[in-house]
Amino acid sequence: MRLDFVLVIGVIFLLDQCTKLLASAYLNYAEPVGLLPFFSLTLLHNTGAAFSFLADAGGWQQWLFLVLAIGVSAYSVWSLRDAELCGWMQAGFVLLIPGAVGNAVDRVAFWLCGRLFALSLGRLVVPSL
C-alpha cells in the first residue's frame, strides 16, 4: 500500500480516537452542547449499528459488527493493492478504513461505539453521525 494512503489512514484514525477521548472527558452523557442552531456535540453510546440498529439484540450483534469491521478493513486494504483502481475508489477505501478500524477498536475496548455529533432541525434530532 502506498505510504501516502497509510499516512492519511493513520491521521484520520488518530483524530477519530482523540475526538472520542476528548468527548468522554469534557462532555456529559446525553447533554447536547449546541454549536449552531442545527448542530450540536452530544456524547452518546451505541451498542448497535447506525440509528441503534440491533442495539437491544442481547450482545451477539457486537461480534457481528466486529467481524464486519475487520472484514471491511481487510477487503479495503486488499483492494488498494490494485494499481488500476480509479482515484475515487482509492479515496473511498482510504476514508473507509480508519472508520472501520476505529469501530472495531471501540467494540473491543468499550463494547460499544461512541457518537459525538448530532444534527437537528426543530424537534428532529439525528444523533448517529
User: 10-69, pLDDT tens digit by residue?
Assistant: 999 999 999 888 888 898 988 888 888 877 888 877 776 766 677 678 778 888 888 999
Residue that wins the pLDDT comparison between 120 and 98: 98
Residue that wins the pLDDT comparison between 121 and 26: 26
CA distance 83 to 86: 8
Residue type, 100: A
Spatial neighbors of 119 by CB under 8 A, at least 6 apart, are 38, 39, 125, 126, 129
As a whole number of Å, the CA-based R_g of the chain is 16
pLDDT of amino acid 50? 65
Average pLDDT, the chain: 85
C-alpha cell at 5: 494512503
CA angle 96, 58, 98 (to 5 degrees): 10
Place of cell 477505501: 93
Residue that wins the pLDDT comparison between 121 and 99: 99
